[in-house]
Amino acid sequence: MSVITWDPGTILLLFMSGLTRASILFIVAAGLTLVFGVLRVINMAHGSLYMVGAFIAASVIQQVGGAASFWLALVAAPLGVSVIGAIIEFGVLRRIYQAEHVVQLLATYALILIFDDLVKMIWGAEYKSVSVPAAFVGSISIGDRPFPIYNLFVILWALLLAACLWLLIYRTGLGRLIRAAVEDPEMLEALGVNIPRVFSVVFIIGAFLAGLGGVLVAPLGSIGLGMDVTILIEAFVVAVIGGLGSFPGALLGAGIIGIMFSFGITVAPRMATAFVFLAMVLVLIVRPWGLFGEPER
C-alpha cells in the first residue's frame, strides 16, 4: 500500500484535478438550476441532454476527423441539443408548468427512458471514446507532476462561461426578464411580457449548457449509456448545496463537490462518493434551502 506524500505539489495537483471535475459539474448544474429557478421544473432529463451532447460530439469528431473536428463538435453538439430542448419545452413542459412537482418528475423521468432507447437505436449500446484534441495533447508541470493541458482548457472554459452567464443574467435585458420571472412571473406577465417565450429561452439555454458539458467531458472518459444518471445525481447534489435556482450557488457547489471528491478518492477511494453526499447532508441540516438559495415562499 502506497503512502501519500502531502507536499505542496500533490495538494495543488489534487486541487486542479478537483477543479476539472467541478468545471463539468458547474456547466451542467448551471443549466439545471437555471431551469428550476425560472420554470420551477425539476428536469430529470437534463442528464439525458448531456449524454446526447456527448454522443453527438463523438459522431461529429469521428465523421469529420482532423484538427477542426473538435471545434466543430463544440458548436454543433450544444446547438443540436438546444433544438432537442426546444422540442421538449414546447411539446412536454409547457403543458405541465402548473402541475404538481410529482407530475413534472414523472414526465421528465419518462423522457430519460425515451432518450435511453433513442441513443441505443442511433449509436448502439457500445461505449465510445474520443481522443483529446491535438491542440491540447500533452501536459504541464505542477509541482514536478504532469497535469493534462486539456484539463486546464476545461477549467478555463468553465470560468469563461461563468463570466458570460453572469453578464447575461445581470447585465442584459434578457437577464432582467429572467430575474423578474424568478421573483414575480405574474406581475411580469401583467406588464405584457410573453412569459412562455421567456421560459422557452431559459430552457434552451439550459439544454445548451447540458450539451456543452457533454462535449467537454467526451475526451475525459468513455461515452456510454448510464452517464446521464451519473451526472444528474451529481448535478442535483451541486444544485442542492448551492441552492436550487441560484447561479452563484451552482458555482460554489460545483467547486466544493469537485475538490472534495478529488481529495476524498485519494484518501479513501471507497468513501469518495459518500463524502460528496455527506457534504449535501450537512448543508441541508444547516440551511435546507442551500448556501445561496432562499426558502420557498
pLDDT tens track for 132-170: 998 899 999 887 788 999 999 999 999 999 999 999 999
Up-side HSE of residue 213: CA atoms within 13 Å toward CB?
A: 31
Q: Apex CA 154: angle with CA 149 and CA 155, to 5°?
A: 95
3-class secondary structure, 55: helix
The answer on pLDDT for 6 being more than 80 is no
Distance CA 77, CA 57 (A): 6
Beta bridge mates, 43: none
pLDDT of 199 higher than 50: yes
Whether residue 3 has pLDDT greater than 80: no
The Cα 265–Cα 72 span in angstroms is 34
Rounded Cα–Cα distance for residues 207 and 164 (Å): 16
**Do 60 and 73 touch, CB atoms closer than 8 A?**
yes
**In the predicted structure, residue 205 carries a pLDDT above the cut 50:** yes
pLDDT digits (tens, 9 = 90+) for 87-99: 999 999 998 888 8
38 neighbors 198 (Cβ within 8 angstroms):
yes
CA-to-CA distance for 157 and 216, rounded, in angstroms? 9
- DSSP H/E element including 107: helix 101-123
CA distances from 83 to 80, 208, 211 (A): 5, 9, 11
* Distance of alpha carbon 60 from alpha carbon 54, whole angstroms: 10
Hunting for cell 414575480 — which residue is that?
184
Q: Per-residue pLDDT tens for 247-271?
A: 889 999 999 999 988 988 888 888 8
Supply 272's cell numbers: 469518495
Cell of 152: 486546464
Distance set, CA 191 to CA 38, 39, 40, 85 (Å): 17, 18, 21, 27
Mean pLDDT for the stretch of residues 228-246: 90
Q: pTM of the predicted model, to two decimals?
A: 0.93
Across 274-281, average pLDDT = 86
What pLDDT score was predicted for residue 296? 63
Q: Tell me which of 10 and 148 has the higher pLDDT.
A: 148
Contact between 107 and 232 (Cβ < 8 Å):
no
pLDDT band for 1, please (50, 70, 90 cuts). Answer: very low
Average pLDDT, the chain: 90
Task: Give CA–CA dist 31/211, Å, rounded.
Answer: 10
What was the pLDDT predicted at 4?
66
What CA–CA distance (Å, rounded) separates 238 from 250? 6
User: 44-98, pLDDT tens digit by residue?
Assistant: 999 999 999 999 999 999 999 888 999 999 999 999 999 999 999 999 999 888 8
